[in-house]
Amino acid sequence: MSWWKSLFPKRASDAQMNSELRFHIDELTDENIAAGMSPAEARRRATLEFGGHENFKEQVRDVYRIRFVDATLANLKSAFRFIRKSPTFSATVILTLALAIGANSAVFSAIDAILLKPLPFPDADQLVRVDQLDPKNPRPFHLVAPVRLEDWNRLNSTFQTLTGYYTEDVSETTGALPEKLTEALVAPRFLQVLGIAPSAGRDFTPEEEHNGGPNAILISDQFWRKRFAANPDAIGKKLRFDSSSYSIVGIMPPSFLFPNRDVDLWSPVPPDAPYSQDRKSAWYTVIGRLKPTTNLAQARANLATIQSELGQQFPETDAELAVTIEPLKEVTVAGSRRSLWILFGSVSLLLLIACTNIIALLLARSAQRQHEISVRFSMGAPRGAIVAQLLTETFILALLGSALGLLVANAASSVFRSLAGSLPRVEEIRLDTRIVLYSLACSVIVTILCGLFPAIRGTRRNLSQSLGQVSRSQVSARNPLQWLLVGIQVALAVTLLSGAGLLLRSFQELGRVTPGFDPSHILTFQISTGWGETGDLKRLRQRTDRIMETLRATPGVEAIAISVGVPGEPFKYQTEVELAEGRADSEPKLVADNRLVSASYFATMKLPLLAGETCRESEPPTVVVNRAFANSYFASSQAMGHHLVASILGYSGAAEIIGIAGDAREAGLEQPPVPTVYWCAPIAEPGTFFLVRTSNAPMSMAETIRRQIHEIEPLRSVFDFAPLEQHFSDGLAENRLRTILLSFFAATALSLACVGLYGTLSYSVNVRRREVGLRMALGALRGQIVKHFLFQGLFVCVMGCLAGWVLALASARVLAGLLYGISPTDIPTLSAVILLVLVVAAAASLIPAIRAARVDPMQVLRDE
């Protein structure tokens, strides 16, 4: 017989059955003719003997069919009976699985929403980010000039269409107080690229996208609900910003949160406006939709050709530019990929530990059920049927576990959403059919992983036949397999705990870092301003000065400064700066972080000056550099007196280095100080933070400051009030998320391993009661019995710890780069983890060991 036939249930095909029966009838007919009947009569009799063809064939078919259905029903029935009959066992398994599958599904739902699912736009895989890259002046990093965007859009052959956007905060002034709103200013074709239509109203008309056309805006669903209480009459209403009014032409659907979830409104920027014609002023983040038939490589080649043609046409502005194209999804989620996969890895380890635990439980269980199993064998049940029955039981348990797990996952993902505000796309995390299917798949895998081995082992025939006698006469039931499982659990728990321990230590180290200045008692906030105002720097500067003077005079304010970007949060503005004095080609290029601050910054932040004086806000331009800059690029403090050249807003000409400041961690606590140049430009461009040193608690000053500014700038809104320390803490949000979740998983893993250890040792004590009784009757001391069992448990743990240590070292690579101030193979951390595991394991072993010593020898011997 060919091998594959045995894989499938043999099914008598109807045709074969028919010819088999026809043969029989033919033979009977012959027999009847031989007995002297007429052929017709002979045939009739023969057919009659079969008592109706169809009914009969049905009976034969039943041989193949009913068995399966019956068996499944019977298995289900017996599985439910089994669960009812052993509630403690079943509850343990179901709860363990609910926890493990729930945690797994929760993390998977995040991975699914953030990493796996396409962005929430139609044919989202066609969406790409297009950046222009100037090797000379990386700022503004990826931004594209509007006129260049229009060139690309017109000349390319690989995109359906291209568009761009930028955001700024605006003050809406139709209410009593100016309200800060986030506005996305978009190039034409914005909704066309994203493929989303307004849920009410319409997209912008071509007239609205022309210079001098009517002012139109689209509003977000959230803003519509907040401001207009979801009233459809909102369309046609007007809002006021910058002393112009804008008509609402449409409302976007609630799921449309692009470029980010804070955007309240979208308004078009006319590509034919005079300010849009400068090839040097780049402000758009550009996205495009590829044609369905083109791929990334073709698009890259296409735009590269176009850009080099533009370079010949406009050698001054376009010759040096390169174009990069990346999938939009990649750009959006790449940063959180590693953290998420680490979490998924640890939560899968947790599931593995839970499975190991359940295998041990099932093994113990099937040993107790040997009697039932041998009875079934002796009744003639084939082994396959018994295995199927045991597997059905495990499957029902796993199914109940994962159903409960979905509830856990639901609760867990709302915790996750609140913890993971820093991750992209968190608003898309939800429990949907994909997650339900995933949980279902988990329960099938768990059934196979946990159920198959105990079922096959439990139904070994020789075992089942012999066990009836053995269990009474056996002196010592050794079950190396169960101990191996406990060892595996301990090893996996140690691995997870090491990861969590390292992240915790790294977090602790971060807490010890001093930023190089004094972040306490500093209140930060922003005042709305538009990019358009940077066109008149003189006025902007006057305005900034006036605000700072007013605040400086406010009681409770000790000092005030401004800074573009807030210290403590990543803000990269790294460029190459040139030395007016010139520099040999052999020397390293001067690459520095540029920070635009007011001269009062150093005093306000208590950032010490090591040499020289603070930069001046007046001509001729001057700068301060930090120690890292001075030390990396100049021999012993010869930096002073050199002149730096860079194109920085408000700076022209060479700026003299007149001071050296101490190193500060302004880009976040985990970022070591890099060479930095402080440009003293007291210009509040968008994204500028006001930093106020207060005498009392920082937040208590917020209302006073808001009122003061409203008096002098009634059309602007003041927002983002927060103590500076809050920004430091926010900067560590993803780090914190990782640490909290991994610690939680590790703690769960440790408790599961302890339950496993406790259960296995208890079982072993139970099986060996007789032996213990006998020993005690022969004079063994209680202490010796306790020691015996305690050491049995601890020995396995030590082995598990050793294996876990090796695993932890092997997986250290995963964490490298996520740790601060601590090596991924930090011996003290790993030792502390192992010590913790051993102490907890000792506690878990002690209870069954003491119970063993309480065995009453007389009682046991009487039971014989």
Partner 1 sequence: MPIEKSDLLQGTLDMLVLKIVALGPVHGYGISLRIRQISKEVLQVQQGSLYPALHRLEKRGWLEADWGESEKGRQAKFYRLSTKGRKQLESEESNWNRLASAVASIMQTAQ
User: Is 66 or 697 the residue whose CB approaches partner 1 more closely?
Assistant: 66
Residue 437 C-alpha from the chain's centroid? 20
Task: Name the token pair of 637.
Answer: 């403090």
Total residue length of the chain: 864
User: Is 384 or 421 the residue whose CB approaches partner 1 more closely?
Assistant: 384
The CA distance from 476 to 835, in Å, is: 31
Shortest Cβ 68–partner 1 spacing (Å): 11
User: Is 21 or 832 the residue whose CB approaches partner 1 more closely?
Assistant: 21
- Give the residue, chosen from 20, 558, 581, 703, that forms a contact with partner 1 under the rule CB under 8 A: 20
Residues 761-820 that bind partner 1 (CB under 8 A): none
Q: Buried b vs exposed e over 295-312: b needs ≥16 C-beta within 10 Å?
A: eeeebbebbeebbeebbe
Q: How many CB atoms lie within 10 A of CB 710?
A: 15
Which residues are CB-contacts of 732 (< 8 A; sequence separation ≥ 6)? 507, 510, 668, 669, 670
The CA distance from 43 to 32, in Å, is: 8
Region from 18-26, 109-117, 148-156, 521-529 binding partner 1, contact rule CB under 8 A = 18-26
Q: Please, where are the H alpha helices in 560-679?
A: 601-605, 627-633
The CA distance from 110 to 117, in Å, is: 10
Task: Name the token pair of 246.
Answer: 């804008």
87-111 and 337-368 helices, crossing angle to 10°: 160
3 binds partner 1 (CB under 8 A): no
Of 724, 737, 333, which is closest to residue 565 (Cα–Cα)?
724
Shortest Cβ 14–partner 1 spacing (Å): 13
Shortest Cβ 462–partner 1 spacing (Å): 17
Region from 5-13, 36-44, 452-460, 794-802 binding partner 1, contact rule CB under 8 A = 5-13
Residue 417, Cβ density class (10 Å: 0-12 exposed, 13-18 middle, ≥19 buried): middle
Region from 9-17, 638-646, 826-834, 843-851 binding partner 1, contact rule CB under 8 A = 9-17
23 binds partner 1 (CB under 8 A): yes
Q: Are 167 and 307 in contact (CB under 8 A)?
A: no
Task: Name the token pair of 66.
Answer: 């009913």
16 binds partner 1 (CB under 8 A): yes
- Give the residue, chosen from 2, 5, 14, 26, that forms a contact with partner 1 under the rule CB under 8 A: 26
60 binds partner 1 (CB under 8 A): yes
- Give the residue, chosen from 38, 39, 41, 64, that forms a contact with partner 1 under the rule CB under 8 A: 64
Shortest Cβ 15–partner 1 spacing (Å): 12
- Angle at 278 (CA atoms; ends 277, 284), nearest 5 degrees: 85
Which residues are CB-contacts of 174 (< 8 A; sequence separation ≥ 6)? 238, 239, 240
- Give the residue, chosen from 44, 50, 161, 213, that forms a contact with partner 1 under the rule CB under 8 A: 50
Shortest Cβ 28–partner 1 spacing (Å): 7
Region from 22-30, 119-127, 542-550, 753-761 binding partner 1, contact rule CB under 8 A = 22-30
Helix (H), strand (E) at residue 130: strand 127-133
Shortest Cβ 40–partner 1 spacing (Å): 20
Shortest Cβ 20–partner 1 spacing (Å): 5
Shortest Cβ 499–partner 1 spacing (Å): 52
Of 606, 636, 639, which is closest to residue 625 (Cα–Cα)?
639
Shortest Cβ 463–partner 1 spacing (Å): 21
- Give the residue, chosen from 7, 35, 40, 63, that forms a contact with partner 1 under the rule CB under 8 A: 63
Q: Binding pattern to partner 1, positions 88-127, x when CB under 8 A?
A: ----------------------------------------
Q: Are 457 and 386 in contact (CB under 8 A)?
A: no
Q: Are 307 and 315 in contact (CB under 8 A)?
A: no
- Give the residue, chosen from 7, 13, 54, 59, that forms a contact with partner 1 under the rule CB under 8 A: 59
- Give the residue, chosen from 27, 41, 123, 262, that forms a contact with partner 1 under the rule CB under 8 A: 27
Shortest Cβ 17–partner 1 spacing (Å): 8
Q: Are 394 and 365 in contact (CB under 8 A)?
A: no
- Give the residue, chosen from 10, 84, 154, 512, that forms a contact with partner 1 under the rule CB under 8 A: 10
Shortest Cβ 56–partner 1 spacing (Å): 5
Shortest Cβ 377–partner 1 spacing (Å): 14
User: Is 50 or 141 the residue whose CB approaches partner 1 more closely?
Assistant: 50
* Per rule CB under 8 A, count of chain residues that contact partner 1: 23
62 binds partner 1 (CB under 8 A): yes
Shortest Cβ 387–partner 1 spacing (Å): 17
71 binds partner 1 (CB under 8 A): no
Residues 211-250 that bind partner 1 (CB under 8 A): none
Shortest Cβ 25–partner 1 spacing (Å): 9
- Give the residue, chosen from 38, 56, 313, 620, that forms a contact with partner 1 under the rule CB under 8 A: 56
DSSP for 672-730 reads: PP--EEEEE-----TTEEEEEEESS-GGGGHHHHHHHHHHH-TT--EEEEEEHHHHHHH
Q: How many CB atoms lie within 10 A of CB 328?
A: 24
User: Is 49 or 278 the residue whose CB approaches partner 1 more closely?
Assistant: 49
User: Is 54 or 863 the residue whose CB approaches partner 1 more closely?
Assistant: 54
- Give the residue, chosen from 3, 36, 40, 51, that forms a contact with partner 1 under the rule CB under 8 A: 51
Q: Are 327 and 125 in contact (CB under 8 A)?
A: yes
Region from 58-66, 127-135, 430-438, 778-786 binding partner 1, contact rule CB under 8 A = 58-66
Region from 54-62, 197-205, 444-452, 469-477 binding partner 1, contact rule CB under 8 A = 54-62
Q: How many CB atoms lie within 10 A of CB 461?
A: 11
Q: Are 600 and 559 in contact (CB under 8 A)?
A: yes
Q: Please, where are the H alpha helices in 36-137?
A: 39-49, 53-85, 87-111
**β-pair partners for 597:** 563, 680
Q: How many CB atoms lie within 10 A of CB 437?
A: 10
19 binds partner 1 (CB under 8 A): yes
Q: Please, where are the H alpha helices in 420-479?
A: 433-446, 452-458, 461-473
The CA distance from 83 to 95, in Å, is: 13
Task: Give the long-range contacts of residues 23-32, CB within 8 A, separation 24 or more.
Answer: 24/50, 25/50
581 binds partner 1 (CB under 8 A): no
Shortest Cβ 63–partner 1 spacing (Å): 4
Q: Are 222 and 254 in contact (CB under 8 A)?
A: yes
Shortest Cβ 461–partner 1 spacing (Å): 14
80 binds partner 1 (CB under 8 A): no
User: Is 21 or 481 the residue whose CB approaches partner 1 more closely?
Assistant: 21
What type of residue is 115?
A: L
Shortest Cβ 22–partner 1 spacing (Å): 9
User: Is 23 or 795 the residue whose CB approaches partner 1 more closely?
Assistant: 23
49 binds partner 1 (CB under 8 A): yes
The CA distance from 848 to 764, in Å, is: 9
User: Is 26 or 432 the residue whose CB approaches partner 1 more closely?
Assistant: 26
Shortest Cβ 50–partner 1 spacing (Å): 5
Region from 62-70, 383-391, 541-549, 846-854 binding partner 1, contact rule CB under 8 A = 62-70
- Give contact residues for partner 1 (rule: CB under 8 A): 1, 9-10, 12, 16, 19-21, 23-24, 26-28, 30, 49-51, 56, 59-60, 62-64
